[in-house]
Chains A and B, each alone.
Chain A
Amino acid sequence: MKDNTLKYLLVMPAVLVVFATAIWPLIESLRLSFTVGRLNRPGSLDQYLGWENYSWAMLYEPAFWNSVQVTAIYTVVTVGLTTLLALGLAMLLVPGGRLRSGVQTLLILPFAMSPALIGVSFRFMFNPEFGLFDAFFGVLIPPLADVSWLANPTLAFSVCVMADVWGWIPFLTLVLIGGLASIPRDTIEAAQVDGAGGWRVFRDVTLPQLLPVLAVVIILKSIFSLKTFDQIYMLTNGGPGTATQTLSHYIYFNGMKYGQIGYASSVAWLMVIPMIFLTYAYAKFVFRKR
């Protein structure tokens, strides 16, 4: 067989799968977002409604804007905290040696853990009566001893953030270690010979060279933070009230619990918009090297 025919045969199965499982549902959910789309009303999935779902979400649904706000704050806080802490840990681990490479191996474990299980585990750790982290915080900050973490909106949000940061630090750390390790040693040594202190070396030599990796890490983590669902569902299920209801959770609730597939699809598409920008930014980095 000629290579010219063969190459298209080789890509065909995978491309078909991607189209059927990802592209088709994307287009179909866009169509649904313009319909009445009630699960319990036959025919409503084809009943054209125009932009009404979108305008309903944006003009009349405080709960939608609440979930936008929760997701936005959640994303900014988790991306910021995870990146900073991971950078710190990566700086500590990059010199190598037995202890440090052993720690690097252990870091893989939280990352292989199911996010739903991370949610369960943090609910356990912050139980007011027998949670270990609750006990720690009680000793460190006495007013927080024995509080019902998940019953207080601010504290529940903080627990969700901590669970997220805990789950993502390992991956970001490992990526940043890779980035740090690829910085030529001699540029750092040259700066040290010139008398630059630790902080100056980091700011003027290490950080600028790490910037591309850091940018990719921040984009990737933003994408994952925006989508957050699993841990939230297991930890707080969006509560108390709607204090921790992320966009994914809001869409899930409207689509699956209330059966408003059309409305849920329109919110889902509103969520796709920031994703497009982030994916574009990410793709630019990936294709930069080709």
Chain B
Amino acid sequence: MTGKQKKKLMNAIQVTLILIAIFIMLVPILWIFLAAFKNHIDVFQLKLLFTPTLENFKSVFAPPYYLGRKLVNSTIVALVTVLIAIPAATTAAYAFSRFRMVGETAMLVTVLATQFVPAVVIILPFFVMFRDLGLLDTRLGLIIVNLAIVMPFAIWMIKGFIDGIPIDTEEAAMVDGSSRVQVIRNIVLPMAAPGLLTAGIFCFIISWNEFLFALILTNRDSVTLPIGLALFKAEEGDLWNLLSAAGIIIMVPMFILALIIRNYFVQGMTMGAVR
């Protein structure tokens, strides 16, 4: 075999392996898409050809499932969590990035460490406290605990973006008589906007997919979408067609959001640790 042939063969093997990998990665997702449009009989068969139906999507929003309410809860909880987390994280990230402070490293390490605290550890005291305060099964309670996982992420991520903005423009504006607050509002915020959007989307996805907190804190009024999945485990077995329809409603909006920020996705997850 000549060198050229060998290279061609190697490339063919690689492409085959890539195709197999992507097939395995996508098949569970595609299977949910298919099942969501199957009726309750077809879903119990492996067939690929069937008459598609929108019935499942109608059913999940109707009684007794009321997925619409869960959708509203998930949206409000994730949105408010983000709206609290991002402004607070932005001002903190700016201060961490531009100033030296007493106890700065200690604060940054603490923020980093809290992100790795297992959710089960912090939810136990919150459950007790919320029970006493009457915050169980409320959106407010969920928003508070979601901040625990979202906040450290947001601070580190936004700090990474602000670190990347050159300091010269800010200094020039200060020399021209702008105040620090004006500098932040007129120079830093516009330049950091893509970073803030990325962090916001990231935190939204984390809150939206959050499971353990919602499982423990909610039972009727403020149930979110991931917990709603458990509704479709009926006594006669899992209702796969409805589960799949609900699955699509949970994952498709997040797919769209994730694709919007795809270039920052990994960077955001590792907070600049890997680069």
Q: In the bound complex, how far is the Cα of B119 from the Cα of A234, in angstroms?
A: 17
CB–CB B44/A178 < 8 A: no
Q: List CB contacts (< 8 Å) of A77-109 with chain B.
A: 89, 92-93, 99-100, 103, 105-109
A32, B181: Cβ atoms under 8 Å?
no
Additional A-B contact list (15), CB under 8 Å, known A115-B211, A166-B28: A7-B101, A11-B91, A14-B92, A17-B85, A17-B88, A18-B152, A45-B128, A121-B29, A175-B270, A216-B274, A230-B211, A256-B216, A268-B120, A286-B112, A286-B273
A93 to B22, CA, bound (A): 11
Q: Contact check, B107 vs A11: say whether CB atoms are below 8 A apart.
A: yes
Closest Cβ neighbor of B267 among chain A residues = A178
Interface size (B, Cβ < 8 Å)? 99
B245 to chain A, nearest CB (A): 12
Report B23-49 CB contacts with A as 1/0, cut-off 8 Å: 011111101100100000001111000
Q: Cβ of A179 < 8 Å from any Cβ of B? A: yes
Return the contact of B46 from the options A103, A105, A112, A135 (Cβ within 8 A): A135
Q: Which residues of chain A are within 8 angstroms of B147 by Cβ–Cβ distance?
A: 17, 21
Q: Does the CB pair A269–B121 fall under 8 Å?
A: yes
A166 to B: closest C-beta gap in Å: 7
- Interface flag for A251 (CB, 8 Å): yes
By a CB distance below 8 angstroms, the chain B residues around A112 are: 205, 251, 254-255, 257-258
Contact partners of A110 in chain B: CB under 8 A: 25, 29
Are B251's CB and A107's CB within 8 A? no
Q: How far is the CA of A285 from the CA of B273 in the complex (A)?
A: 7
Cβ–Cβ contact B112 & A13, under 8 A: no
CB contacts (< 8 Å) of B251 on chain A: these are 112-114, 117
Check if A21 sits within 8 Å of B273, measured CB to CB: no
**A117-B124 contact given A132-B27, A132-B31, CB 8 Å threshold:** no
Known A92-B14, A229-B211, A275-B118: A174·B266 in contact at CB below 8 Å: yes
B1 close to A (CB within 8 Å)? no
| A61 located at the interface, meaning its Cβ lies under 8 Å from any Cβ of chain B in the complex | no
B15 within 8 A of A: yes
Q: Does A220 contact B (CB under 8 A)?
A: yes
| A122 to B124 alpha-carbon distance, docked (Å) | 29
Please state if B152 and A275 are interface contacts (CB–CB under 8 Å). no
A4-23 interface bits toward B, Cβ cutoff 8 Å, 1 = contact, 0 = none = 00111011011101101111
The 3 A-B residue pairs with the shortest CB-CB distance, nearest first, are: A14-B92, A21-B148, A114-B209
Contact A26 B117 (CB under 8 A): yes
Does B200 interact with chain A (Cβ within 8 Å)? no
A169 vs B4: C-alpha distance when bound (angstroms): 33
Among residues of A, the one whose C-beta sits closest to the C-beta of B261 is A108
Contacts A22-B114, A92-B17 given; does A10 touch B94 at CB 8 Å: yes
Q: Which residue of A14, A32, A233 is within 8 Å of B91 (Cβ)?
A: A14
Tell whether A29 pairs with B121 under 8 Å between CB atoms, given A11-B92, A252-B212.
Answer: yes
User: B109 on the interface (CB 8 Å rule)?
Assistant: yes
B74-95 with Cβ < 8 A to chain A: 84-85, 87-89, 91-92, 94-95
Residue from the list A132, A275, A282 in contact with B273, Cβ < 8 A: A282
Contacts A21-B147, A112-B258, A278-B116; is A121 near B28 (CB within 8 Å)? yes
Q: Give B242-265 as 1s and 0s: 1 = Cβ < 8 Å from A's Cβ atoms.
A: 011001001100110111001001
Distance to closest chain A CB from B199 (angstroms): 12
The size class of the interface chain A forms with chain B is: 35 or more
B275 contacts A15, C-beta separation under 8 Å: no
By a CB distance below 8 angstroms, the chain A residues around B258 are 108-109, 111-112
Please tell me if A191 contacts chain B, counting CB pairs below 8 Å.
no
A-B contact pairs, 5 of them (CB 8 A): A10-B94, A21-B151, A112-B257, A182-B275, A251-B121
Interface 9-mer from A51-59, A123-131, A141-149: A123-131
Minimum CB–CB distance from B175 to chain A (whole Å) comes to: 15
Task: Verify A229–B212 contact, CB threshold 8 A.
Answer: yes
Q: Is A238 an interface residue (CB 8 A)?
A: no
Q: A194 at the A/B interface (Cβ < 8 Å)?
A: no
On chain B, the residues within 8 Å of A28 by CB distance are 125, 129
Set of chain A residues within 8 Å of B255, measured between Cβ atoms: 108-109, 112
- Which chain A residues border B28 with CB–CB below 8 Å? 118, 121-122, 124-125, 133, 166
Say which residue of A105, A129, A256 sits within 8 Å of B262 (CB atoms): A105
Chain B residue numbers with a CB within 8 Å of A269 are 121
| Minimum CB distance partner of A176 in chain B | B274
A115 to B272, CA, bound (A): 24
Question: Of A23, A116, A264, which contacts B226 at CB under 8 A?
Answer: A116
